[in-house]
Structure 1
C-alpha cells in the first residue's frame, strides 16, 4: 500500500460547481501545498480544461443526481472507494446530498483519516410536507444521512438552523459540527454597480416551488395591478427536482406579462445590474449564493424569514424579511421599494457592507481550512486572477 499523500479529494454532484462555488477554496489548498483531486458526474470538456488549468486532477464518475435507484447509488459509492484507495488522500470533502452520503461511506471504507461533509442545503426532504412513497423516501434519506455522518470526522453547516435541526433529529453529534458563512462570494468579481432608475425585481434560481417561484409570480401579479411599469425578471430553468414547476405554468406567467423570462444564464451579473431589488422567497436554504452575489453588487434584498435566508438580511437595513409563502407581505415589501426609491440606494449600500464583512469568499475559505486543521497565512488577494472568473453557474 502506497504511503498517505498530501492530497485533498473533493466530491461533487454537479461538475460546474467545482468552478463556480469551490474555485477559490481549491486555489487555497494548492497555495498551501496540497494536490487537489475532484470527482463529479458528466464532466464536459470545457469544465475539465478549466479544472486542469487550476491543477486539479479530475475523476468522472457515474451518478444520478436526482435518481432513486439504490443499485446505481451503490455503484457510485463503490467507484469512489476504488478511486480513494488508489490515490489515498489525507482529506476528503463532500458537498450536496449524494456525495455527502455515499462519499462519506466511501471515504470511511477507504480509511481516509479526515472526512468532511459540507451541508449546503437540505432539499425537499426537509422543506416539504410529504405523504405516501415520498414520506418513505424522506425517512430513508434521513437514515442514510445519520449513518453517513456518523462516519464523517467533521460536518460543516452553512447556517445555525440546519445544524440545530440535524442535531435535534439525532442525525449528527453536535461535537463534530462546525459553522461557516455559506460558500462566500468574490467581491472583486461581483462589484457594486449603479442602480437603474426604474423598478425592476429579479429572481434567480431553479424553478422549484421550494425556491418560492410561485410566490414571486403571484406577488408580481399583485404589484403590477397598481404599478404596471414595474418589471419582474426571472433567470433560471426547470429542474428534475420533485418540486419543480412545469413548462405550462411558466409559459402562462410569460404570456400574461407577469414576468420576463431570461432563461438559464452563464453569467448573472448583467441581470443583477439590470435589477433594482433582488428577491428570493425560498422556503429554506443553506446560504443562498444568488443573494450574496446581489448584495455584493449593491442590491437590496427581499427574502424569507427562513433558515439560511434570514442570515443574509437585517430586516429594514439591507432589505426585508417576509414569512414563507406569504404572497401579500412579499407584494407589500416590493411596493415599498417602488413608493420610496431612495431605499434602494441606502439598503443596497448596506448589502455591500454586510457581504464584505461576513461573506467574503476568502474569509469563508480561511474558516473552512482552519476547521480542516490547515493554518494559512496566504493573503486573500493572492488567489484572485481575472482568468479564473468567467461567469459559469452551478445548480442554485
Structure 2
C-alpha cells in the first residue's frame, strides 16, 4: 500500500516518527513523508530509509486563513496526484487540512494522532477563546472524516469526547511514540549530580521553571551541573535568546543547542526534568527512562503517565518552581534513591514503552 505521513514540522517527523515509518517500509509498503522544510535539506536523509520526502507548504503557528487555504490546496494537489491508500497525520494543521483534502479526493482511510493539545487549546484570554472555538470545529471535521483517531493519553481523549468532537469507539490509546530500546540503554550515573532538560525552548514546556529552579540549586550547590539541550522556536510562547543569555553567562546553565543524538547528554545527567504544562507523551522522558534515569515532571496531561510517584520519579504541580527545586535537592542529597528510581524507569520503559509494541498497535489499527 501507499501511505502518506503528514506533519507540519519536518524535524519532528524525522526524529519522532521514523521508527514507525521504517516499520511500514519493512512490512512492504511505500511511504511518502510530507513536512514543512525544504526537500534540499531533507530528501536524502529520508531516502536512506527508503522513504520519499516532499515539502508541504504549511505555517505551523500562523492563523492567517489565506495561508491555511494554501496548505489545503497543496494537500489536495498531493492527494489527487498520489492517491495514497492510507494517511497518518499529526500536528493540528496537517490533521485538519489533510483529512479535508483526503475526503475531497476520495481517500477514505485517515488516521490522525493527537499528540498533545497545544497552548491555544489549553490557554486563556479572548483571542485564545476565539481560536480555540475555531479549532474545535476543525478537529470535529477532521475526526468525522477519519477512520480511527490515536491519542497518547486519557486526558486528551476525554477532552475530545466531552467536547463532542468524536465518540469513544473511534479512539485508540497508544503509549506515546515509544522508545527504541536498542538505541537507548541504561548507562552509569556521573560522579557529580547533574540535571537535564531536552526540548524546544518554549514556556509551555516549563523552560522558565527549569531555569529558575536551576538558579536556586546552583546557589546552594555550585558544583551541580544543569544541562539544557534544544532549539529556539517560533511558537508564541517561545523563549528568546536574550532571555536565556543571563543564565548562560552566570553559569547556571550549560546550553548545548539542538542535538541530533541526545544519548551523550542523558548519560551526563543523574535526573531528567521536564516541567511541561501539557504533552501527548513526551518522547524525551521515555528516552531518559530507557537510559535508567529518574524523572521529575509535571502532574499534567501526558506527563503524569510516565511517573509512578516515588517509584521512578516525582510529579510536581504545573509552574511550581519551589516544588521542583525541593525534589532536585532531595535527589542531590540522596543519590542512591535516584539510582534505584532510575532502575525502575528502565523497567517501565521496557514493559510499557517499547517502540516495537507501540508501532504494532498502530500497524494493527491501520490494517497494515
Decide: shared fold, TM above 0.5. Answer: yes
Q: Would the aligned equivalents of 1:201 and 1:233 in 2 still touch at CA under 8 Å?
A: yes
Query: Is the counterpart of residue 163 in structure 1 residue 162 in structure 2?
Result: no
- Counterparts of 1:194-273 in structure 2, within 5 Å, are 194-273=188-267
1:97-136 superposed Cα distances (whole Å, 9 cap, x missing partner)? 111111111111111121111111211013322x233332
Residue from 167, 170, 175 that aligns with 1:181: 175
Residue from 275, 281, 290 that aligns with 1:281: 275
Number of the residue aligned with 1:35: 30
Query: Is the counterpart of residue 65 in structure 1 residue 57 in structure 2?
Result: no
Deviation at residue 308 of structure 1 after TM alignment:
0.5
Q: Would the aligned equivalents of 1:301 and 1:319 in 2 still touch at CA under 8 Å?
A: yes
Number of the residue aligned with 1:308: 302
Deviation at residue 373 of structure 1 after TM alignment:
2.2
Residue 169 of structure 2 aligns to a residue whose secondary structure is helix
Take 1:53 and 1:235, find their aligned partners in 2: how far apart are those partners? 26
- Counterparts of 1:1-396 in structure 2, within 5 Å, are 6-129=1-124, 131-374=125-368
Take 1:342 and 1:102, find their aligned partners in 2: how far apart are those partners? 50
Q: TM-score, normalised by structure 1?
A: 0.90
Residue 266 of structure 1 aligns to a residue whose secondary structure is coil
1:122-169 superposed Cα distances (whole Å, 9 cap, x missing partner)? 11013322x233332222222211222221121100111110111111
Q: Would the aligned equivalents of 2:205 and 2:277 in 1 still touch at CA under 8 Å?
A: yes
Take 1:135 and 1:321, find their aligned partners in 2: how far apart are those partners? 29
Q: Which runs of 5+ in 1 are unaligned?
A: 1-5, 375-396
Take 1:259 and 1:127, find their aligned partners in 2: how far apart are those partners? 29
Q: Would the aligned equivalents of 1:292 and 1:312 in 2 still touch at CA under 8 Å?
A: yes
1:174-217 superposed Cα distances (whole Å, 9 cap, x missing partner)? 22111100111111111211110111010111111110111111
The Cα RMSD (Å) is: 1.4
1:225-271 superposed Cα distances (whole Å, 9 cap, x missing partner)? 32222121111222111111222221122223322211121221111
Take 1:37 and 1:365, find their aligned partners in 2: how far apart are those partners? 17
Q: Would the aligned equivalents of 2:42 and 2:53 in 1 still touch at CA under 8 Å?
A: no
Take 2:346 and 2:319, find their aligned partners in 1: how far apart are those partners? 27
Deviation at residue 44 of structure 1 after TM alignment:
4.0
Deviation at residue 46 of structure 1 after TM alignment:
4.7
Change (3 A) 1:55 1:237: closer
Take 2:241 and 2:48, find their aligned partners in 1: how far apart are those partners? 38
Residue 218 of structure 1 aligns to a residue whose secondary structure is helix
Equivalent pairs, count: 368
Take 1:279 and 1:103, find their aligned partners in 2: how far apart are those partners? 34
Q: TM-score, normalised by structure 2?
A: 0.96
Residue 206 of structure 1 aligns to a residue whose secondary structure is coil
Residue 45 of structure 1 aligns to a residue whose secondary structure is helix
Q: Bigger CA drift: 69-78 or 156-165?
A: 69-78
After superposing on structure 2, the runs of 4+ consecutive aligned residues of structure 1 that deviate more than 6 Å are: none
Take 1:364 and 1:77, find their aligned partners in 2: how far apart are those partners? 30
Residue 278 of structure 2 aligns to a residue whose secondary structure is coil
Take 1:31 and 1:47, find their aligned partners in 2: how far apart are those partners? 21
Deviation at residue 66 of structure 1 after TM alignment:
1.4
Q: Would the aligned equivalents of 1:127 and 1:283 in 2 still touch at CA under 8 Å?
A: no
Q: Would the aligned equivalents of 1:127 and 1:210 in 2 still touch at CA under 8 Å?
A: no
1:328-365 superposed Cα distances (whole Å, 9 cap, x missing partner)? 11111101111111122111111111111111111100
